[in-house]
Structure 1
Amino acid sequence: MIEVKIGTRDVEREREREREREREREERERERERERERERERERGRGRERESVRARERERERERERERERERERERERERERERERERERESERETRTHIHPFFSRR
């Protein structure tokens, strides 16, 4: 009779230990799942961060390209201005020559 009770208590203690191990296993699994979820969140965050970094880099590159284009346009404008200046000088020389020439021919 006593052995049965001890045996019953042993069975109860064993069942209790098994339930405790099961709770611990479930808790570890929930913790692993929470950790996986946090990792997914970090990855999504890094993905958004990487995307925003790439977007900012693309925007900076577009701005640099616009600046290069403005600089090329300014250079073309300076070249056109130099060409107009050369043309004015040539025109002035032609006028001078045409004015000088009749003067000499009248003498």
Structure 2
Amino acid sequence: MAKALNKKAVKKITDKAIKKAVSSKKKAKSIKKKVTKAVLKKKCSCKKSCRKAAKKAAKKAA
């Protein structure tokens, strides 16, 4: 299992995913999905916290 990502790394990933999703004018739900996927792609052991952060970030972006 890869070591847990720190908050900065998670934020970077989610921000990137959000920018991409927002620039392609997606709905809130698909933004959330995209962000969550981006975080999960990073195969970290802190999936829950990453997912939570992703959801929060997606909500903010939507």
Q: What TM-score results when the alignment is normalised by the length of structure 1?
A: 0.19
Higher helix proportion (structure 1 or 2): 1
Q: Which structure is richer in relative contact order (CA contacts within 8 A, separation 6 or more)?
A: 2
Larger Rg: 1
